[in-house]
Structure 1
C-alpha cells in the first residue's frame, strides 16, 4: 500500500492490518503511541473506509494531524450498518475519543412520578396501607421502579414542578411524604388553598381519590378531551341528583383544566409524544436545541453544545465513494449545513442510545435513513423524522430554531467576554499572552464555623472557564480550631508538595532549590513524603474531590487527583491579604517554588466589592485594578467560586458530623414513634448508625426489612 511521502510513515504491521480488513460492516478505533483513543468510526465496508485514511494525502489538515498520530487500530465486525452505528455511539459515549463530536453525558432527565398506581402492584396480596391507597405525585430522577408510574421525561426540574403544580390545582392529588401522610391529624395548608383533597384525614374516600388519580394520568398521557368529557358527565349526574356542591367542585375542575389547556398556544392533542430538534452552527461552535412534546403539551426545551465539532466533521468527510450515501442530502455549497447535519446525527445517536424515545422527531435538517433504521431496531417500533413540518409542528420547529440561535449567540458572547477577561488579567499581571488558552489559575479558600469542620477548597480556571471536574476539597486536621493561617499552610503543602518533588526529580526547578522539609507528623507531611513518579499520574493524597455542576455538589468522597505529569499553575490566588500571602510565601520557599506565582486578593476598605487589591508574594507593590476592570471581574469570579465551594463542603461536613451522615426522618417507614424508640435505645443517631441489623431488630416495631433499610441509609 503506497503512502504520500509528505505524511509520516506508519508501521508495516498497521498497514498490513488495514490491507487484511474484510469488506463487511463494522466499527474501527484508532489509538496513538500513548494508548489514547483518537477516533471511533463506523463503516458499511471496513476495508474501503479505513483504507481511505491511509491512501489519501491529508498533509496539513486536521485529518492529517489525526492520521499522523495513529499507531494502533482495533476493529469489530457486526451484522449490519444499524448495529455498527449503535456500537459506534456506545463507544463514543463511554470512551470520549479526542476527535469525535461529543455531547456531554448530562444527568438523567427528571420524571413526574405517581406512586403505587401499577395494577399488578395495587391488587396483589392484602389491602395496601393508606399511603399506597392514596398515591402521591413527586419529582423523580433515577432508576425506574416498576411499582410506580412515570411520566416524561421533562427537559428540566422546573418543568416537572410546574406540571405538579398544575395537577394540584386541577386534580388536588397529595404531594406529601408517606411518613408525613401517616402522621397527620389535621389537614395541611395545601388543603386550605385547595391544592389537595385531604386524604390524610379522610376528607375524601379512596374511590373518589382513585378517580382523580386516573383522570390525572389520562391528562398526562394527552387524553385531555376524554378527561373533560368524563368530568362533564360526572358534573351533570350530580346536578340531576341535586348534589350541587359536588357538581360545583367538578365545574371548578373543568374550568381550571380548560384554563390550563389554553395557556399554551402550541398544544395540540393530535401529537402525543414528539421531540423537536433544531441545529445552529456558527463561529466554530454548534448548538442543538431539544424541545419536548409529551401528552400533547409543550414541556419546554434545552440546549446542548457539542465539542470537537470542527475536527470531527473534517475527519468524517474522508470516506470512499461507495459510502457517500451515508450522508443525508444537504447543500454541498454550504459547509455549515453539512456540519449541522453531522452534529444533528451525532446528537440523535448519542442522546437516544439506550433510552426511551418518541416515535416522531421533527428536525431542522435531514437525517440519514441508516440512523433511523438503527433507532427503529433499538426500540422495536418505527421511528420517523420529519424535516419539512406543517401546521403546529412547523410552529414548534420555528420556536426551537429561534431558541437554538439565541442559546448559541449567548454562548459565543460569554466565551468572548471570558477570553477578554483572561487577556485583561494577563496584561495586568504581565503574564505571557501567547498561550492564554492554556493559562491555568488555582485559587484557595478556607471555611469553617467557629473552628468546626474546617475545610479548604481549591478551584481551577483553565481554557477561559472554571474546570469544576478538577475542583478539590481538603479536610483540615491537626491545627488549632479557627487558625486560618495554619489551614492555608497545610492545604498548600498537600497540594504542591508532591508536584515540587516530581519537578525536582525532572530537574525542572532552578538549580540550588532547597529540598522540601515537611514535618512528617502532620497530615501534610504524610502526603508530601510519598514520592511521586516522574512519569504517569501524580496523585495528591488527602484531597476530597467533588465533581459535577458547580451549583450541585451533593456529596464529597475521598479520592486522588491524576495529572499528566507535574503541572504547576500559572497563577495561585489566595483569598486573603498580607497574612495569607506571607504563609503562602513560606510554603513556596520551603518547597523551592516560584514566589511570583502567588497573588493574594485583599478586600478593600469596608470590604466593599470592587475595591479589592492584589497582594504579591515576591515583593511587588499592591495593585488596584479598578472597580470596572475586566481583570478584577475575573479575579472576583474565581475567588467567589472558591468561597462558594469551600462553604458548601464545610456545611456538608458539619451536617455529617452532627447527624451521623443521614437523618432518620428521611428513611421511609421510620415515623416519630419508631424514631423515638431508636434514639432512646441507642442514645442518638451515632449510636443508631453504629448498631448492626440484628441490634436494630431488637427495637419494638422494627422488622428485619426495616432494620436493613435503616442500616443501608446510615451507611
Structure 2
C-alpha cells in the first residue's frame, strides 16, 4: 500500500502503464475511490490527467487528491466498458458523473421480415433489423412514423396480425399502408418503398425527393397518370414537412446540439437533435450524482456516456471549450465528427433554444425538489418521525383468485420514484389468496438480505393493506431484527375511493384519516399506486405465461415442437386463439383433426 504521507509520483507511475484497453481507478485518502474510467489506450488516457493543465477546476481538484492509480488491462474495449460499469455501480466514486436516463432514447425500427415493419423501439437491438436514431423523445419518433406512413405507406402492424389478415385494414383504406398482408403490393415494389424510407431516415431527404420526382415524370411519360399523381402527393408531403421543420437550414445535415448550463447549484446538459435538416426536439439530462459539477464537466461526462451507446452525428455543436471534448472524442470513437461552436444564424438559433430549454428544465427541477421536500416534511409530521424519510419502500400483493400471486416492492428516494430499484417477487408455497402469508414471504425475502448486510435499509415502509398485513409485516421485521424501521399500512376505504385511505400503525396508535388535499396523503397515494401498478403488471405477465404453457400443453398431440411452432407462427397465445382451423392447419405438423382439437380447447 502507498504511504499516505508520500506524494504521488505520476512520472514514475506512467512508465508502468500499458498501451492496452482497460479500466483505471483513482484512489485517494483512506483508500477511497475517487474516479473510475475506461480507455482504449490506458497509457494515453491516464497520462492526460498529469501531463497538461486541466481545463476543469473540479478535475484539477480530484488529481490533487490522488495517492494511487490502479489499472486493469482487458482483452477488448467492450470488456473494459462492462468492467467500468460494474465498478461505478459497486464503488459509487465521488467524481463520476452519471446520466442514468441516457440509455433510454427511442429509435425507429425497420424489421428484417420479408415485408419489413415500421415500429417504435426502445431497448436492445434485434439481429437483422435496422434502427434509426436516437430520437430525443417518443413524440419525435411517432411524428416521424406518421410522416413515413403518409409518404411511403409501410406496414406498422404486429407480425401476428400481418400473417392472419384476410382483407385490408383501415390503414389501407385511409392510404397509410399498401396492404402487403393481402398481396396488394408485390415484394419488389414494397422493397423499393422501404429503401426510400431508409434513405429518408438516414438524412438524405433531397435524394428521396429527386428519386420520387424522376419516377413521377417517368409515370407521366408512359401515361400512368394515377401513379404519377400518387407520387406527386408523396413529394408534396415531404417538401411541406421539410419546409416547416428546417429552422433556417437548407441542407440535409445531421447535427447534435449540446448545451450545458449551471444555475443555482444544478447542472443540466440538454441535447437537441437535427436529422436531415429537421429539428426533432431536445431532451434535458441531469447528473444523478455530484450536483453542481459544472457545465464543462457535465458536458464531458455526457459526451463520453452518450456516444458510447449511440451513433455519432456528422457535426456536434457545443457551447463549451472544444479542446477537452476533442481529446475525449478521440478516445471513445474512431468515426470522424466535426466539433464546432455556433457560427451561422441557424446554429446560433439552435444553441439559444437548447440553452433556454436547459434553464427551464433547471427551474422545473428546482420547483419539483421544493415540492418533494414539502411533501416529505408533511409526512414526517403526520407519522411523528424524527427526520423526513429519505428512502421509502412500498409493498403490494396481486393475484386473481389466488392464481399467479406476485408481490411488488417500489422505492421512492427523496420524493422521486426510483424505477431501477423496483423488484417483483413470485410468491409460491402458500394457500392461494392468503395475502397475509404472501406479505410475510416477500418481506422475509427482502429484509432477510438487508439484515444480513445486503442492500439498503429504508427509513419508512408502506404496506398496501390493513391490520392483518401490517401485523404480518411487523412479525417479520421483529424476527430479522429490523423492528425499529418506521412502518404504516395504507388501507382503502369501504368505497375504495382515493382520499378515503386509512393509515394503520403497528404500535397500536389509532388509525388516521388525512384530509384529501393533504400533501403527505398525496405522496403516500403516489407511492402506493405505483406499487399496485407494478404488482398487477407482473401478475398479469405471470398469469399469461402460466396459461400459455398449461392450455397448449394440456392438448393431446401438442408437444414442445408443435407448441413452439404455433406460438412462433401466430406471435403468442392471443394469435393462436384468433386463428381459424384453416389457419392452424398451415402450421408445420398440425393436421386438420389436431387443428380442430386446438381450436376447441382454446374456445
Superposed, 1:156-195 pairs within 5 Å as: 156-177=137-158, 180-195=161-176
Equivalent residue for 2:395, pick from 434, 444, 448: 444
1:654 Cα deviation from its structure 2 partner: 0.8
Q: Using the alignment, how far apart are the partners of 1:663 and 1:459 within structure 2?
A: 35
In structure 2, the CA distance between the partners of 1:170 and 1:476, relative to structure 1 (3 Å rule), is: same
- 1:253 matched to which residue of 2? 234
Deviations 1:123-173 (A, max 9, x none): xxxxxxxx62x4443334556678554432322344333222211111112
TM-score between the two structures when normalised by the length of structure 2: 0.79
Q: Where does residue 620 of structure 1 map in the other structure?
A: 509
Task: Please list every run of 5 or more consecutive structure 1 residues that lacks an aligned counterpart in the other structure.
Answer: 1-8, 51-57, 117-130, 314-338, 503-531, 533-537, 539-561, 686-715
- Aligned residue in 2 for 1:305: 286
Q: Matches of 2:129 and 2:421 in 1, distance apart?
A: 38
Cα drift, residue 456 of structure 1:
1.9
For residues 164-199 of structure 1, the C-alpha deviation after alignment (integer angstroms, 9 at most, x for no partner) is 221111111223455654554332222111111223
Query: Which residue among 112, 122, 141 is the counterpart of 2:108?
Result: 112
Question: Could you tell me whether the CA contact under 8 Å between 1:267 and 1:297 is conserved in 2?
Answer: no
CA–CA distance in structure 2, aligned partners of residues 252 and 307 of structure 1: 48
Alpha-carbon distance in structure 1 between the residues aligned to 2:376 and 2:243 = 48
CA contact (8 A) 1:139 1:160 kept: yes
More displaced stretch, 645-654 vs 240-249 = 240-249
Which runs of 5 or more residues in structure 2 are unaligned? 38-44, 551-562, 572-582
1:65-80 alignment runs, 5 A limit:
73-75=69-71
User: 2:299 matched to which residue of 1?
Assistant: 344
Task: Name the residue aligned to 1:488.
Answer: 439
The number of residue pairs the alignment matches comes to 556
Q: CA deviation at 1:658?
A: 0.9
Counterpart position of 1:464: 415
Mark the CA change 1:578 to 1:171 in structure 2 (over 3 Å): closer, same or farther.
Answer: same
CA-to-aligned-CA distance 1:652-690 (integer Å, 9 cap, x gap):
211121113998666369874455846949x989xxxxx
Q: Is the 8 A contact 1:273 1:359 kept in 2?
A: yes
1:29 and 2:25 matched: yes
2:118 corresponds in structure 1 to 137
Equivalences for residues 293-442 of structure 1 within 5 A? 293-310=274-291, 313=293, 339-353=294-308, 355-368=310-323, 370-376=324-330, 379-433=333-387, 436=388, 439-442=390-393
Is structure 2 residue 182 aligned with structure 1 residue 201? Answer: yes
1:242-263 C-alpha deviation (Å, 9 max, x unpaired): 4332222223223322332234
1:408 Cα deviation from its structure 2 partner: 2.0
Counterpart CA distance in 2 for 1:648 and 1:28 is 41
Partner residue in 1 for 2:560? none
How large is the Cα RMSD of the aligned pairs?
A: 4.2
Distance in 2, Cα, partners of 1:476 & 1:431: 32
Q: Are residues 455 and 35 of structure 1, via their aligned partners in 2, closer, same or farther at CA, if it must alter by over 3 Å? A: farther
Larger Rg: 1
Alpha-carbon separation, structure 2, partners of 1:109 and 1:589 = 44
- Residues 505-543 of structure 1: per-residue CA shift (max 9 Å, x gap): xxxxxxxxxxxxxxxxxxxxxxxxxxx4xxxxx4xxxxx
Using the alignment, how far apart are the partners of 1:475 and 1:272 within structure 2? Answer: 50
| Cα pair distance change 1:189/1:36, threshold 3 Å | farther
Instruction: Name the CA shift for 1:283/1:604 in 2 (closer, same or farther; >3 Å).
Output: farther
Answer whether contact 1:459 1:470 (CA < 8 A) is retained.
yes
Q: Secondary structure at the match of 1:155?
A: coil
| Distance change (3 Å), C-alpha of 1:452 and 1:351 | same
Q: Check conservation: 1:574, 1:580, Cα contact below 8 A.
A: yes
Query: Contact 1:40–1:92 at 8 Å: present in 2 too?
Result: yes
Contact 1:25 1:77 in 2 (8 A): no
Say if 2:563 is the partner of 1:582: no
SS of structure 2 residue aligned to 1:667:
helix
Matched residue, 2:520? 631
Secondary structure of the residue that 1:139 maps to in structure 2? strand
Which residue of structure 1 lines up, in the alignment, with residue 99 of structure 2?
A: 103
Q: Distance in 2 between matches of 1:250 and 1:76?
A: 59
CA apart distance, 1:217: 2.9
Q: Deviations over 1:431-453 (max 9, x none)?
A: 113xx4x6333222211111111
SS of the equivalent of 1:353 reads helix
Q: Could you tell me how far 1:587 is from its partner in structure 2?
A: 4.2
Equivalent position SS for 1:352: helix
For residue 640 of structure 1, what is the aligned residue in structure 2?
529
- For 1:139 and 1:303, locate their aligned partners in 2 and report how far apart those are by CA, in whole Å: 21
* Structure 2 residue matching 1:607: 3-state secondary structure: coil
Secondary structure of residue in 1 paired with 2:308 = coil
Structure-1 separation of matches of 2:504 and 2:32: 41
Instruction: Tell me by how many angstroms 1:13 deviates.
Output: 9.0
Match of 2:498 in 1: 609
Q: Is the 8 A contact 2:393 2:409 kept in 1?
A: yes
Measure, in 2, the Cα distance between the counterparts of 1:684 and 1:367: 65
Structure-2 change in CA distance of 1:589 and 1:43 (3 Å): closer
SS at match of 2:515: coil
The partner residue of 1:477 within 416, 428, 432 is: 428
Question: Quick one: distance in 2 between partners of 1:424 and 1:614?
Answer: 14
Choose from 172, 194, 200 the match for 1:219.
200
User: Partner residue of 2:487?
Assistant: 598
What residue number does 1:649 align with? 538
Distance 1:36 1:654, change over 3 A: farther
Q: Match for 2:3 among 5, 11, 17?
A: 11
Question: What displacement does 1:276 show?
Answer: 0.8
1:458, distance to aligned residue in structure 2 (A): 2.3
Write out per-residue CA displacement over residues 188-212 of structure 1, whole angstroms, 9 at most, x where no aligned residue: 2221111112233332344443443
Contact 1:359 1:382 in 2 (8 A): yes
Give secondary structure in 1 for the equivalent of 2:257: strand
1:667 correspondence with 2:568: yes
